[in-house]
């Protein structure tokens, strides 16, 4: 697979670099970013996740990729397409889109800009028929991104996330959004 590299007006979406490790740890451990996730990752666990995702992107040509500012190459978070099966068996064969951004970069439209470009990549370059996304039902900042990029809530597919432990019942219920290539 060649180097993963997409551009938008303000952003670069590329594969992981060693200089992104600090940002990856920040978004995996910051309380505000991780409000809707049951676990936090320490630096060692976060580094291991980055290595695993980077290898997978090199192999498959897609995955959760860093978003960097075009002018400085500074990473501000990640966004990407990934195999949804990893989240729940009912998503067998489907690709999801997801995102996480360092809080100082929230509310500037960066994720919406990156996600629109990734949907285009998914439909035009990967020839996908549908892309899904899901979030804890109270994660309105995330579902607002889904709506801004043209995804629609599909209540019939809402589910209790099997990876969320019973210690965190309020994080179990997930809403599912989807968009098709013929939108």
- The site for ligand COA (CB under 6 A) is made up of 33, 36, 98-101, 106-112, 135, 139, 141-142, 145
Nearer to ligand COA, 128 or 136 (CB): 136
To ligand COA, the closest distance from the beta carbon of 178 in angstroms equals 14
Instruction: Kindly tell me which of 78 and 123 has the beta carbon lying closer to ligand COA.
Output: 78
Q: Which residue is nearest to ligand COA (CB)?
A: 109
The continuous run of DSSP H or E covering 66 comes out as: strand 64-69
How many C-beta neighbours within 10 Å does residue 156 have? 6
Task: Name which of 5 and 107 has its Cβ closer to ligand COA.
Answer: 107
CB of 108 to ligand COA, least distance (A): 5
Which residue, 109 or 169, is less far from ligand COA as judged by CB?
Answer: 109
CA distances 45 to 41, 74, 174, Å, are: 6, 22, 25
Backbone region of residue 39 per phi and psi (left: phi > 0; alpha: psi in -120 to 50; beta: other values): beta
- Give the HSE-up count for residue 142: Cα atoms under 13 Å, Cβ half-sphere: 23
| Shortest Cβ 1–ligand COA spacing (Å) | 26
Instruction: Fill in the DSSP letter of residue 108.
Output: S
The least distance separating ligand COA from the CB of residue 180, rounded to whole angstroms, comes to 20
- Contact, 102 vs 76, CB < 8 A? yes
């Amino acid at each position: 697979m060649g180097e993963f590299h997409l551009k938008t007006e303000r952003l670069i979406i590329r594969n992981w670099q060693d200089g992104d490790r600090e940002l990856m740890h920040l978004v995996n451990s910051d309380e505000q970013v991780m409000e809707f996730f049951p676990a936090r990752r320490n630096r060692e666990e976060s580094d291991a996740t980055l290595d695993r995702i980077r290898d997978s992107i090199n192999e498959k040509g897609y995955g959760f990729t860093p978003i960097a500012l075009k002018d400085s190459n500074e990473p501000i978070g990640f966004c990407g397409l990934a195999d949804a099966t990893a989240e729940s068996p009912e998503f067998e064969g489907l690709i999801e889109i997801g995102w996480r951004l360092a809080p100082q970069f929230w509310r500037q439209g960066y994720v919406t800009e990156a996600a629109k470009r990734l949907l285009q990549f998914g439909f035009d370059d990967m020839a996908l028929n549908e892309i899904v996304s899901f979030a804890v039902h109270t994660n309105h900042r995330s579902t607002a991104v889904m709506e801004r990029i043209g995804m629609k809530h599909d209540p019939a597919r809402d589910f209790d996330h099997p990876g969320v432990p019973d210690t965190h019942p309020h994080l179990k219920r997930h809403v599912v959004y989807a968009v098709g290539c013929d939108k």
